[in-house]
Structure 1
C-alpha cells in the first residue's frame, strides 16, 4: 500500500472548510474527474467520476471526528482506496488542510489506466496537489 500526504494553507476559518468537505455536491468544483457527488445517507457518499477515459461510480463510507476536525473515508468496493482530511487552525482566519490517501498502485492503474511505477506516483501527487489548490480557490472565493 502506498501513502500520499499533501497539505495546503487556506485563508478561511477551519469551520468553513469543514462545512465544504461535508457538502459532497460541491466536490466536482474542486476534485478533478468528479462529475457528480452526493450523500447517500448517514456516512455514505457516491461519486461519479471520469478518469483515464473511463466513467465509474464509487461509494465511500465517511466518518468524522468533528472535535478533532478529522474526516476519514474508504471506498466500499474496488478500487480499494482510503484517506483522510485533517484540518488544523493556523489562526482564526487560516486553516491548514492535510490530505492523506492510501492506495494500491496496481489497483489504481487497473481502474484508471495511466503510467506505472514512479511516473504513476508523480501523476497522483500532482493531481492531489492540484485538487487542494482548487479547494483553496473555491473556499476563498466563496467569501
Structure 2
C-alpha cells in the first residue's frame, strides 16, 4: 500500500474514496488524457462526455467511478498516481499526499466520496438534471 500507516480496512476504503474524489475534483481538462493513459477507448471517453454534459468535474468523477469498477475492489491507486505523474499532474499527487497525511492526523473531518458526490449532485438537482446514476462501465 502507498500509505502504510493506514491499517483499518474500513478507513482505507473511505480514504480511497476520498483520494478518488480529490483527483476528480482537480483533474479538469486532464481527465481525457488520464482516461487514455488508463486505456479507455475514445468511444468510452465520448460516452462519459455525453452522459455528463454539465461539468468537467462530473466527467472526472464518472471516469474514476468507471476505473474503480473496471479494476474491481482492489483497484490499485498506486498505478493511478503514477499515471497522474506521467501526465504532469504532480500537483494532484502532492495534494493527495498532504490531504491524506492530514486526514490521518485528524480523522474528525473525513468526507466520503459518497457524501461529496451527494453534495455535488445536490447542487444542480433543482435544474431538473437527473443525477448520473447509470454508468455503462
User: Above 0.5 in TM-score?
Assistant: no
Larger RCO: 1 or 2 (CA < 8 Å, sep 6+): 2
User: Larger % of strand: which?
Assistant: 1
User: Larger % of helix: which?
Assistant: 2
